[in-house]
Each structure stands twice: as C-alpha cells, then as structure tokens.
Homo-oligomer: A and B are copies of this chain.
Amino acid sequence: MPISADLEWCGFGIRQAGTAIGDWESFMKWDALEEEPCSLARTVAVIGDRWSLLILRECFLRRRRFEAFQSSLGITRHLLAERLKKLVRFGVLRRIPYQDSPKRYEYILTQKGLDLYPIMMSIVHWGDIHMVDSRGRPLLHEHKKCGKMFNPVMVCSECGEPVAAKGVHVHPGPGARQTPTAA
C-alpha cells in the first residue's frame, strides 16, 4: 500500500490533510483514548500516567502486594486501588488470592504486562543517556544470554538494522480512520 499524498503522516498518527479541527477536538477525552485509531493513544490510555508507570516498575521489581506498592510509592490507598483496578481491567495485571481470611490478593504481570518490557527499558535507557548525573548510571544491565553489559537497541524485525525516526515511512493500515480518497 503506497503512501497517499493526501495523508499527512509520521510514525504514530495519520490524518487526512484538511480534516476539520473539530474532528480532533474530541480526541483528548481520556476515556475515549483507547478507542482512537492510534496505537500510541490507546497505549497511553493504559500506561500514560506517572502512577501507572511507577506501579508497573514495582511489578517488574517483583512486588506483588497492595501494601508493598503503597509503602514503596507513598501513594494513597484510594489512588492505588484505582490504578490497580485499571491495570487489571486492561489485562496488564492479574489479581490472584493469596490469603482467605481476610481475603487478600496479589497482583502479577500477565504476558500482556510482561510485553511492556521494551517500553520500560526504552524509558530507562533514555534516562541513562540523558538524565544521568555526574556519578553515572544508577544501574547496569547484563544480558544473561551473552553475559555482557548491554544497552537496548531498537531494530527492524525484517533486516535487523537499527531504526530511527527519520528512517521510517508510515502507511495507513486496515484499522486506519476511514477517510474519503481523492483518487
């Protein structure tokens, strides 16, 4: 499918040239983000706030329990319960009982949650490069398979070469917003 000259495009979104602004004004209603024909906006609906990202960090830290999250993050019980409920609703965490009386639950990453790892590692790596202080990186990462300290690198699934913003063309996919075509 060739890139249409009618479409203004980039790596993340696509919209028809000349689309009325009004079409996009509704875009930013958070509850509707997950319905948007934009995979970035849909993901932002799940993880696009600090608490969710930091709760997920705790999960990758192998923390599982409400009290542990609360103690680590200093978040209110109400906010924490709300964010955990959201992450369970989106299938990122699974809630499993670990005690009967009173009933208590642990929260563990599902496969969908574990698949967030490249996002989390990209965030860490950017911080390692751009937000590091004079002392250097807080953590070094060792790839178990090769035994070396490594940086994450984003590559193309087809040719294995690194991918950067300016090296990508974007085409409307089957789930793109339907737009009238000029030709």
Interface residues of A (CB under 8 A from B): 1, 8-14, 21, 24-28, 30, 33-34, 37-50, 53-54, 57, 60-62, 71-75, 91, 112, 114-133, 135-146, 148-161, 163-165, 167-177
Contact = CB atoms under 8 A, between A and B. Distances in A.
Given A123-B43, A143-B168, A175-B132, A153 B154 contact: yes
Contacts of A9: 61
Given A138-B177, A144-B169, A154-B154, A72 B27 contact: yes
A12 B148 CA distance: 17
A68 B94 CA distance: 40
Contact of A117 (B11, B60, B146): B11
B39 A57 contact: no
Choose among A1, A40, A170 the residue with the greatest number of B CB atoms under 10 Å from its CB.
A40
A64 to B, nearest CB: 12
Given A138-B38, A152-B154, A13 B61 contact: yes
A153 B40 CA distance: 17
29 contacts: A8-B61, A9-B61, A10-B61, A13-B139, A14-B138, A24-B74, A28-B54, A34-B131, A39-B123, A39-B125, A39-B127, A39-B132, A39-B139, A40-B120, A40-B127, A42-B127, A43-B124, A44-B54, A46-B131, A121-B154, A138-B177, A142-B169, A142-B170, A142-B171, A150-B158, A153-B156, A154-B154, A154-B155, A160-B160
